[in-house]
Amino acid sequence: MSGVVHKSLPHDSAPLHVTGRAQYVDDIPAPAGTLHLAFGLSPAARGTILKTDLARVHAAPGVVAVLTAGDLPGDCDVSPAAHDEPLLADGRVHYIGQPVFLVIAESHLAARRAARLGRVEVAGERPILTIDDALAADSRFEGGPVIWERGDAGAALLQAPRRLQGTIEIGGQEHFYLEGQAALAMPLDDGGMLVHASTQHPSEIQHKVAHALDLPMAMVRCEVRRMGGGFGGKESQGNALAVACAVAARLTGRPCRMRYDRDDDMTITGKRHDFRIVYDAGFDEEGRILAVDFVQYARCGWSQDLSLPVADRAMLHADNAYYLPAVRIESHRLRTNTQSATAFRGFGGPQGILGIERMMDHVAHELGLDPLLVRERNLYASGGSTAARSKQTQLTPYYQPVEDSVIRELVAELAERAGYRARRAAVDAWNARHAVLKRGIALTPVKFGISFTLTHLNQAGALVHVYQDGSIRLNHGGTEMGQGLFRKVAQVAAERFGVRADRVRITATDTGKVPNTSATAASSGSDLNGMAVRAACDKIRARMEDFLKGYHQAGTVEFRDDVVHVGGAVLPFAEAARLCHENRVSLSATGFYKTPEISWDRARGRGRPFYYFAYGAAVSEVVLDTLTGENRILRVDILHDVGKSLNPALDIGQIEGGFVQGAGWLTTEELVWDENGRLMTHAPSTYKIPACGDRPDLFDVALFDNANRAETIYRSKAVGEPPLMLGISVFLALSDALRACGKAYPALDAPATPERLMQAAARLREVIDEP
């Protein structure tokens, strides 16, 4: 072996990124005559379209055509599964920003200007905007709540020595990818269509375009070289642009491209689901949880999109890293007249985890204990321990045994490395001396399940070619959105052939090369595609070995250090490839992988939905001005489990980025709709993502030494989503700072904006000042 995996090699496109030469969908040189598209949007959140006046749109400079729902060919549904999202509103509108008509023009600017000239008259109805509105109207998906339980939580709650209830409101989040949604469709001379899309799910784009054009999927190709960020926002939300471009290209016979401007992107597309979580916890005097009843309310928006599996995953992560002896989880999936909430990094898991982390903090406050002590007393037992072997103490609420837990060791190591206990005492001492500026500290763990909960998505394919000069080209079903997937998979290929990493090139993800791909989501990119590439490489290597053994009359063949050892002979890899080619040995192969050992009965809430768990923990320390709500993160220490890392540098980068994005979700990123359902935070001027100045002065990230027990690619673990939940430590550190303002529990809601923090501090002081 060449030792290419487990090395910190740079991102394959890093030089292109930093020089601005990386080509994204809207940078692709298009043929002469390419047309540009823009949507005309609904001005009302709910109602029936009475009239659409498009005369001024048709007459606008550069306009070639204007389409409404009645002009579309066949069925142009753009939903990921439920068939409830028409490309253009079909008589009724369901949120402000819903596409109503489509402008096809000679330039992007001409299309956008013309789209603003349309007049859509709507017989408005009172929109359903909030969780309370939806509950009052019984507006929901699935017809009623989904309930999973293990044990008798009701009886255990009644018998518990101590009991408390609480509620937390959790805001949504805008994806704010650097590259907005974009697509380019080019009609082919055989009647087919080539689509370039900024998407995490090329096969879904292929399927939706084929369906809209009434073509077999084999006549539609979707190609994706890279995205400028995705975070789940390009799993289903790119369907509308791709279908619109394909329909317009079919109609006009000319290539068509479309990209949303940032305001349109934020107005049209879905966000992270906002939640309300209500908890009822029973516990003993030591803080050990005996029973808990969670009720989760998810605001899903106007269409189903991916809300059902998102809400399921929130339920699946309601335990986070804690064993719950008796538990009941009730989930409500509520339909509202807002953007259809969609996939977002963590896919419901962050909301479920925040619910129990708030509960743990509340229990600690009730007992006057250090929150870390309460957490430690409830963590899942270590894998291989007596408790783990008994299985019963290791069962999740959905009956999956937790057999690989390292969370106790990881938390203990982080607490020691970060000096948590000494800093806890220092924070308390600081707060005793200062009336206005208060400090807070929190250590929070993460246990995150890895696999798609829809079992058939846990598969991947790959195509590998070895050329006669020894260079290697591969293709797989995963998409590159900046996370470094291509580099990791290339490292796997280089390792299998024992060659330098620079011998391997990856082509754009292409449904014409690898069919039936799953979305690059659920943190599964490296797990699935790495194994598929390994399978393909091993087929080719086995063929080469068989030939070279016979050719050199040797007993052994070994690929390492960019050469091939054949008995006593040493051949450069390029020479070995040339010999194989000249002797008619196939140097091309496909590979396939499906995740083993998983099964899931969603209706009963039982099974093994996850192949394994990833673990992590973070300590965050903050300072808060209690009069203004302004705050800063002073220091962050993270210890995270990525198994045996394929590429430590890339994994640390993902951990840092995920943490910052999670902290942003819970502190600065606030989505605001007005009473009519109009999104007010629709641009960088009104929506605040974390900036460089928000990072902590001390930011220490380390990888936990823990080879994956599951048979994953080189015993690595997924890293895309789990680190986002580490940002919860910032939210709870701010809550800890508020705790110093009074004796009552702060009961802070998210996001903890300066306004919300200032108001919470004032409330706590009022409680103290009451006679």
Residue ranges with strand state E in 46-106? 47-53, 63-67, 92-93, 99-105
List C-alpha distances in Å: 198 to 16, 99, 103, 204: 17, 19, 21, 12
Q: Where are the alpha helices (DSSP H) in 214-348?
A: 239-252, 262-268, 307-316
176 conformational bin, left if phi > 0, alpha if psi -120 to 50, beta if neither: left
- Distance between CA atoms of residues 412 and 285, nearest Å: 22
**Residue 156 one-letter amino acid:** A
Going across the sheet that includes 459-466, the strands are 504-506, 472-476, 459-466, 588-594
- Distance between CA atoms of residues 613 and 703, nearest Å: 15
Which residues touch 23 (CB under 8 Å, ≥6 apart)?
Answer: 16, 225, 226
Establish whether 357 is a catalytic residue: no
- Name the residue among 105, 94, 101, 98 with its Cα closest to residue 118: 101
Is the C-alpha dihedral spanning 44, 47, 51, 57 positive or negative? positive
What's the full length of the chain, in residues?
771
Catalytic residue selected from 409, 721, 755, 770: 721
Q: Contact 629/757 with Cβ under 8 angstroms?
A: yes
Q: Give the pairing type, strands 193-197 and 220-224.
A: parallel
List C-alpha distances in Å: 172 to 186, 343, 479, 750, 755: 36, 11, 25, 9, 17
Tokens 């936990």 belong to residue = 704
Q: Contact 208/72 with Cβ under 8 angstroms?
A: no
Catalytic residues: 721
